[in-house]
């Protein structure tokens, strides 16, 4: 018997003390985050053909305006609706409307380049009832964000965004009773699940025109793992297409942070630790570091406890000082919920140079009966 959840998080082995190599030395997730926060980490994209890195700078980014956040939220909704229509059409055997997909991806890339901080805000948007479609959009968004952080060209960002949107089109032919089964799957059922990357690849190859091979190969290989334990081909790191390596990280991250019929989502900060623990074994080590840099140590909508014993929700990650994002404080010091108030954790006492507030730890919002996404949306909406 095979547990269906394994295709998301339990498919990967967890470690009590996750570590990853940094300059040939194993470090824990907390040590790495400390290094990242102090600026001691130099990100090098070892997956580039020339083995050189051209990462984008994070020091000149500016805070997104509420207007920009509202714009990307509208784009996310539009993208979900378009993706749903395309995937439903595919199930009916219709030709993939590549023109519409390209236009949508171009719009996503434009927003990522114009307002990267607002763009990453999209990743908090989930939809329990339309998981497959929302997940496809989120994988595209996260993949584009990683590609931008890697310094990829606009065309590469568009191609990886296209692959992200279409990576699960093959699931349209997986029976819903298998796809949404709350219990364990039989080995036979899991084998059906494992064929969806091939179905995605074949459909895009046969029922569309002009899709580049790097998109097709990324779609086929997004469940492959560095150690060769993935599917459908069981290939090892050096044979996995670069775009597939990026999409695989985005795919697992969004999957394990989303609530589904068969699995409750985990908090974003814990998801980052899990992704980090799988570096080198399931994911490319360098790309995981760029992923964490792109999405932030505390992703948007993470619930945290401050050293003042107040609850806060991450509104905007701080790429320059990852441990000091901008937050919405949602409780008093007795942990009684209050009207959200904006606070910048980079603020400090001029005399002592000590920050007024700091993050102690991330929390599970279900333990406090709060909905971070709803809190952010109400705040943005005024």
For residue 28, name the pLDDT band (cuts at 50, 70, 90). Answer: low
- Element containing residue 35 per DSSP (H, E): helix 29-38
176 and 80 part of one domain: yes
Please check whether residues 368 and 222 belong to one and the same domain.
no
Same domain, 198 and 113: yes
- Does the predicted TM-score (pTM) go above 0.75? yes
Contact 297, 33 (CB under 8 A): yes
Measured between alpha carbons, how far is residue 155 from residues 98, 144, 194, 291 in Å?
Answer: 15, 11, 30, 19
Give me the number of domains the chain comprises. 2
| CATH code, 66 | 1.10.3210.10
**Among candidate residues 255, 277, 295, the one where a domain is terminated:** 295
236 shares its domain with 332: no
Expressed as residue numbers, the domain containing 263 is 2-295
Secondary element (H or E) of residue 134 = helix 131-149
91 with 223, same domain? yes
Specify the 3-state DSSP secondary structure of 228: coil
Residues 278 and 345 in one domain: no
My answer on whether 137 and 185 are in the same domain is: yes
Q: Are residues 234 and 348 in the same domain?
A: no
Q: Which residues of 181-208 are buried (b: 16+ CB within 10 A; e: fewer)?
A: beeebeeebbebbeebbebbbebbeebb
Question: Cβ–Cβ contacts within 10 Å for residue 71, how many?
Answer: 17
For residue 23, give every residue at least 6 positions away whose Cβ sits within 8 Å of its Cβ, in sequence order, or none: none
Answer yes or no: do 249 and 323 share one domain.
no
Domain boundary among 255, 274, 295: 295
Q: How far is CA 90 from CA 113, 207, 217, 374, in A?
A: 30, 9, 19, 33
> Among residues 244, 277, 295, which one ends one of the domains?
295
Question: Residue 186 above 90 pLDDT?
Answer: yes
pLDDT, tens digit, 9 for 90 and up, residues 286-301: 999 999 988 888 888 9
Contact by Cβ (8 Å): 216, 201: yes
Q: Does the pLDDT at position 11 exceed 60?
A: no
Buried b (16+ CB within 10 A) or exposed e, 37-67: beeebebebebeeeeebebbebeebeebeee
Residues 169 and 67 in one domain: yes
Asked whether residue 281 falls in the same domain as residue 328, the answer is no
Does 314 lie in the same domain as 260? no
> Is pLDDT at 6 greater than 60 in this prediction?
no
């Amino acid at each position: 018997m095979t547990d269906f959840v394994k295709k998301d998080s339990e498919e990967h082995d967890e470690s009590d003390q996750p570590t990853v190599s940094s300059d040939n030395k194993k470090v824990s997730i907390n040590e790495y985050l400390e290094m990242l926060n102090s600026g001691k980490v130099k990100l090098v994209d070892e997956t580039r053909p020339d083995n050189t890195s051209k990462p984008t700078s994070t020091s000149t980014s500016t805070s997104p305006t509420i207007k920009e956040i509202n714009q990307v939220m509208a784009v996310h909704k539009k993208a979900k609706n378009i993706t749903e229509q395309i995937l439903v059409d595919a199930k009916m055997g219709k030709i993939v409307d590549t023109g519409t997909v390209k236009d949508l991806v171009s719009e996503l890339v434009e927003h990522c380049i114009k307002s990267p901080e607002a763009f990453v805000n999209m990743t908090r948007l989930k939809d329990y009832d339309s998981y497959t479609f929302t997940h496809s959009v989120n994988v595209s968004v996260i993949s584009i964000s990683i590609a931008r952080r890697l310094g990829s060209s606009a065309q590469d960002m568009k191609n990886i965004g296209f692959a992200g949107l279409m990576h699960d089109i093959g699931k349209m032919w997986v029976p819903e009773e298998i796809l949404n089964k709350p219990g364990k799957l039989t080995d036979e059922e899991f084998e059906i699940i494992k064929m969806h990357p091939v179905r995605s690849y074949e459909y895009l190859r046969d029922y569309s025109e002009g899709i580049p091979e790097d998109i097709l190969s990324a779609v086929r290989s997004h469940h492959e793992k560095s150690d060769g334990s993935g599917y459908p081909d069981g290939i090892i790191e050096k044979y996995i297409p670069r775009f597939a390596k990026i999409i695989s990280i985005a795919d697992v991250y969004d999957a394990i942070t989303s609530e589904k019929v068969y699995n409750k989502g985990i908090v974003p900060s814990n998801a980052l630790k899990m992704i980090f623990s799988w570096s080198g074994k399931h994911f490319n080590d360098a790309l995981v570091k760029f992923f964490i840099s792109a999405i932030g140590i505390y992703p948007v909508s993470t619930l945290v406890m401050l050293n003042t014993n107040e609850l806060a929700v991450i509104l905007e990650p701080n790429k320059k000082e990852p441990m000091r994002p901008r937050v919405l404080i949602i409780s008093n010091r007795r942990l009684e919920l209050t009207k959200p108030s904006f606070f910048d954790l980079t603020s400090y006492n001029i005399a002592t140079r000590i920050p007024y507030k700091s993050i102690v730890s991330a929390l599970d919002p279900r333990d406090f009966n709060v909905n971070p996404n709803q809190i952010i949306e109400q705040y943005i909406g005024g």
